[in-house]
Every structure is written in structure tokens, then in C-alpha cells.
Chains A and B, each alone.
Chain A
Amino acid sequence: MFITDIRKEFYDVVVNQRVALLVSSEIDALCACKILQALFHCDQVQYTLVPVTGWQDLGTAFLEHKEQFRCFVLINCGANVDLLETLQPEEDSIFFICDTHRPVDVVNVYNDTQVKLMIKQDDDLGVPSYDDIFRDEEEEGGNDSGNESDGGSEPSGKRRRYDEGEVERRIERQRATREWEARRREILFDYEQYEYHGTSAAMVIFELAWVLTKDTKDMLWWAIIGLTDQLVHDKITHMKYVTDIATLQRHVSRHNHRNEDEDNSLSIDCMRISFEYDLRLALYQHWSLFESICNSSYTSCNFKLWSMHGQKKLQEFLADMGLPLKQVKQKFNSMDMSVKENLREVIEESSNKYGMKDIRIQTFGVHFGFKNHFLASDVVHATAALLESTEKDDSPGDNFIKALDCLSRSNLERLHGGIDLAKKKLMAIQQTVASCICTNLILSQGPFLYCYLLEGTPDVKLFSKPMALTLLCKYLLKAFVRSTRNKRCKLLPLIIAAPMDVEKRTVIVLGIPPESETSDKKNFFGRAFEKAAESTSSRTLHDHFDTSIIELKMEDRTKFLDALITLLS
């Protein structure tokens, strides 16, 4: 059931009870969790926070906590699968789901008592209407059995006439049922075929805070990070991003005008959020400009920096802007002020000449204290690196807590640590992409492109995690589209496989839709993977909340791929 008034139907219900918060392991969910935790602290609500990484985790967490809790709040998990079927809860458990995964499972939508969805209905959902999918099965069975018993007790002559009429009507009914079922299957197939993402969970929870007038700049900043996470990991279309940025911009102006005027300026330690039309270079203010250009997917793919020709073009580009190489290769903060002054405009002009029309993108930045300035995308990269860090001693729970900590303002060293990890991750991605393109590791399998990362590839441990692998995959597809001459290949989607767990001999397989200017980011690989796994009885684990990411046994890889090829062609 969709919640219309989030304050009355969710917050007022939850504020008097103990709540279990089940949070998925991604940045948007972390931000939503932070905002919700802040609200709970204000009102002294008792809650238990449980990070979950997949459906199995969700199941175990639910089993552990179902005795003690009646209210469960699920963030970025649980909407796209029949929740009651999966978890088998008691009658009095209530689930509040704030999830960006679409399509929302129809059972979740039409359940009135136990499942409450915190999703705005004007998010283009396209849920099929109730009558198209559900029908009272009882009338059917009742009529049939009634007829048979009647038929048995009548005298034979009358019975024959009665029977013929009855039989005709029953055949008619059965035909109608079959037709209805076929239509239902078709409707459901169309509805559930493509997987995509809706409005950021952090933004939904921020709206709740705003309705309660308990919103602070910290919460607004977390909502901004949640939205930027959707952009960085390419989950939403550019149009939707721009619309959501406009919404957040209204909140930012409201907060900025609240306290400041001519005479009473705010303390420098207060957080200031500002709208920036900034460069699409990852982490450039915490790195050197040169490194940032080399390791950001947008610039690297446009220049084709894996080839010598590309490197030369980059040098030309820098010379065209008049930036001395020595300046560009040192840390951004130490560059000369004269160089930094009009940097954004200068870069924009030059990049227009080189075919990069949107090197600038609308985003937000934050200032607090004298030396802390961060862009939203910087924080997203840092938190993602911390969340998926592959250091030896880190368990997923620890990583979750560290990533959650780095979002608060008081843990700046953790944020800087995250930025360093993110730099390493981006460099690893860049090198892997360069080597894949140069060694032609991407093969066209007919209906899709396929790439397999061998076990010996450097930094392959990084790519056993879904978010890092997604970034690599998108970057790889962009680079491939630029470097190939085959026109047909440019429109194909990409499936990438990387070793996940060496002892258990599994690979992680991920599919992304084809690269295009007007892509609507709808991914059909979820269903395709399921069908292929069924038909070849491969040993797969569809554990991740994004159905387009699965785990597969290494030995079953070839037959799984063959099944996919036949399925999709």
C-alpha cells in the first residue's frame, strides 16, 4: 500500500515503538539512514540498526529480530520482491519500505495491512490495475463443484439438457479464464521486465524531516549526497537528476536565507551548502588536476587516454588552456591562484573545442571551518570506497559503520581516508579499462558484449564488489563504444564477469543496458539471468537487491552464457 501522508502514517506510528532499521549497503541507503537516525535522536525513539547486503542477510536479520520488534523499516531493499512470501512474517508485523528499486512488486502494492510503501505515487510507476491481476478464485471453484453435485442428483433426461448448457457455460468460463490469465501474464511480464530506479530514498526521508520542520543543513547535505550517488553510479536519467537538483536547490536557498543577512553573519564553523556548476572531474580538488582528468570516466573516454594518440591530445588540451604542466601535476590546493581563478570557465571553453559539451554539471558543495570544502561527488566516492574496502580485517558490518561515520562532519580524518581509497579505486578502474581495451578483452557474443576479468588481473579483488564492478562496467562500455569501429556493437549491452570468491570458485556477473545519449537506464538482465539459470540449472545465487547482479559458479559460466545468448537473440 502506498503511504500518502508520510507523517501520520509512518512517523507517528513509529515514534512510540521500538523499530528495527534494515539498511541496504549502498550510499543512498546510508544517507537515508543517517537522516532517519537524526530524527529518531530528536524524538528519542529506540531503534536497532542492521546492515543487510542481500536477500539472505535480510532473511536472517528478520528471523533474529522478529520476536522483539513489530515495526520494520527497510531502506533500499524489499520493494521489488513479494516480501510477505519471502519473509513469512506474523500477522502483526508491519513493514515500512523506502526503496528506489522499481518495479515495485504487485503484491507489495496491493497489500493493505502489512506492507506500507514510502514511495510517491507521481514517480512514474505504471502499476497494473488491481482487476487486471487479481481475481477472486472462489467463485470459480464454488460454481463448478456446485454444478457437479447438482448434475448427479437430477433425473437423466433433464440432466442431459441441463448438462449441455452447463458444459457450454463451463467451457466458456474456462476459455475466459485462460484468456484472462494469458493477458495477466503478459501485463506482468511487461511490468516486471525492466528494472530501474526511482527517487532517492534520502530525498524521501528528507521530505519527512521537512514536513516535521526538523530539517537541518546536515540532513539536507545527506539528501544531496544520496541524489549524487544515484548520478555517480548511473542509476537515474539526466532529466530526473536535473529535476531533483531543482527540488533540492529550493531547500538550499531556504536554508541559506534563514540565518544570514548583512549585519549578522554566521560563524565560519557553521555548515554552508552552495549550488555549484562544477566540473565533472572526480575528486579534482583533492588530487592534482592532471590525475583527475586521467582518471575520470568522462574525460578519459573522450580523449581515449589508453592510446598514445589520446595522451597527445590531452597534452594539446592542456596547452590550449595555457596551463603549465608543472602546475597541473601538483596538488590542486597548491596550484597558483592565478591559474585557479577562472579554471572552470577556461576548461569549459577548451573542452567544447574537443567535443566534450557537458564537462560541467550541476551539483552542490559544502564549506565548514576554514579549510574544509567538499563537493557532493567527492563524498560519494569516498564513502563508496570505504563501504567496499577490501582490506583484510574488515568485515561488511565494520565497513558499513565506517562508511556511516564518514558522513558526519566530526569524522573528517575518516573522510580523508576514504578519499585516498577512492583515488586508488579510480586509478585501478582506469588501468583495468585501458588493459581491457588494448588487449581486446571485450567480445561480442551476438546480442550482447561480454568481458571476463581473469583472476590474475591486478586489483581484481576490488571488483568482486558490486558497486566497484558497476563503475568499471559502465566505464568500460563507454570506452568500448568510443574505440570500436563496428556500428552494431555500439548499441549492445555489456555483461561483465569477475572472480568473486576464490575458495568457493564463484564469479560475480553483472549486466548493464547499452550506452546511448537518451538512455532511460532500464535494465532487463534481471529476468534474463533468472531464466537462463533455470533453463541450464546453473548454480546461481540471486542474492543482491539489484536483480541484474548475480553470483555464479565458475564451472557453470559457459553454459550460462550460451543459454543467455539463445535467450536474447
Chain B
Amino acid sequence: MDPSEVEFLAEKEVVKIIPNFSLDKIYLIGGDLGPFNPGLPVDVPVWLALNLKQRQKCRIVPPEWMDVEKLEEIRELERKEDTFTPVPSPYYMELTKLLLNHASDNIPKADEIRTLVKDIWDTRIAKLRLSADSFISQQEAHAKLDNLTLMEINTTRSFLLDTLNCMYKLRSNLQPGSKYISDVV
């Protein structure tokens, strides 16, 4: 899967905006949105929020978890635990990037948030790499990965699967029997 596809899926998440125009309820295939009244917060998917923001028709309210203290706590928790801790949102990385690129003037302390989210990401990816490494070296049959987000899985998916395929081929080559060799080739 391409990272841009993951970002596309992340854009379906809901975020709160404060529009400056008025519009009646709109009926889209994915669901109903609105009605929009100036100054009153309304929940919309991220793709619409970003489009409206770029056309200067709304102000984006940062999600609750996008706050310096909360993210600091999550980061400390992540660093202490060996396994993966629950994430603030299943698409936390993509949402941070999208919102901070397009609406950083609506989000207070944007630079610190960016640094904190990057720290959390780095810690989790490091744990993922360690886990993958031990999985392969100790030839375990299964691993338990709770609380991983799609983007993190995506970073390691192609590499891990290719590696496991290669190892399977190498191992099955060591087995006696010509039919396996012909299979492999």
C-alpha cells in the first residue's frame, strides 16, 4: 500500500470546524453533513475541512488529543512500556501532518506538537523494528501486535513479508527432495 493511500483513508476522519458561511444540510453518498452556520462548530471529514480552509471559508479546531500536555504523557508512557500503548487516534501521524501543514495558524504551539508526535512515532517504529528483528531471528510462528496504526504497519509490511518469503524459500531449499527445488525455481 502506498503511504498516500493511507493518507487518503485518514482523510475520512472527522474533525470540528467553525465555518464562516451558511449552507443547508448537504446529502453526500458517505453521509449527511451540515447544516453550516457562521460561528457554530460542525463536524466534517478532514478532506472537506482542508478544502474549506484553503478557500478561507472556515477555521479548524484542533482535535482534543492534539494538545501539548496530553501528547507529553503519551510519549512518556510509550517510552516506559515495551509493548505498544494505545494511540490517541488510529491516524494520528497523518492527521498531524495534514492539519499542521494546512492549518498551523489555527493550532496553538504547532511546532511543539510536531516534535512530540515525531518522538512518539520514532519510539513506536523502533519498537516495531525490534519486534520484527526478534521475530525473524527466533523464528517465532506468530506475534501479537496490539495498537498498531495502519501507517506503521504499512512502513514495515512490504519489507517483512518479502523477508519472510525469502526465508521460507531458503529454508525449503535446505529440505531434501528435488520437487521442492523445482517448486522454488
Chain A residues engaging chain B, CB cutoff 8 angstroms: 41-44, 213-214, 216, 259, 263-270
Contact = CB atoms under 8 A, between A and B. Distances in A.
Nearest to A42: B55
A551 B140 CA distance: 84
A296 B115 CA distance: 43
Given A42-B56, A259-B105, A267 B20 contact: no
16 contacts: A41-B55, A42-B55, A42-B56, A43-B55, A216-B56, A259-B105, A264-B108, A264-B109, A265-B108, A265-B109, A266-B110, A267-B110, A267-B111, A268-B111, A269-B110, A270-B105
Contacts of B148: none
Contacts of A41: 55
B48 to A, nearest CB: 15
Contact of A266 (B56, B100, B105): B105
Interface in B152-175: none
A264 B55 CA distance: 24
A267 B57 CA distance: 21
Contacts of A259: 105
A444 to B, nearest CB: 57
A163 to B, nearest CB: 75
A218 to B, nearest CB: 11
A266 B110 CA distance: 7
Contacts of B83: none
B55 A213 contact: no
Nearest to A259: B105
Interface string B77-113: 0000000000000000000000010001101111100
A267 B104 CA distance: 7
Given A265-B109, A267-B110, A214 B104 contact: no
A270 B104 CA distance: 7
B104 A269 contact: yes
Contacts of B110: 266-267, 269
Contact of B100 (A214, A263, A267): A267
A539 B56 CA distance: 52
Contacts of A263: 108
A246 to B, nearest CB: 26
B28 to A, nearest CB: 18
B91 to A, nearest CB: 21
Nearest to A215: B56
A213 B20 contact: yes
A41 B53 CA distance: 12
Interface string B104-138: 11011111000000000000000000000000000
Contacts of B108: 263-265
Most-contacted residue by chain B among A41, A43, A267 (CB, 10 A): A267
Contacts of A267: 100, 104-105, 107, 110-111
4 nearest interchain CB pairs?
Answer: A264-B108, A267-B110, A267-B104, A42-B55
B88 to A, nearest CB: 20
Given A267-B100, A267-B111, A214 B56 contact: yes
Nearest to B55: A42
A264 B110 CA distance: 9
Contacts of B107: 267
Nearest to A216: B56
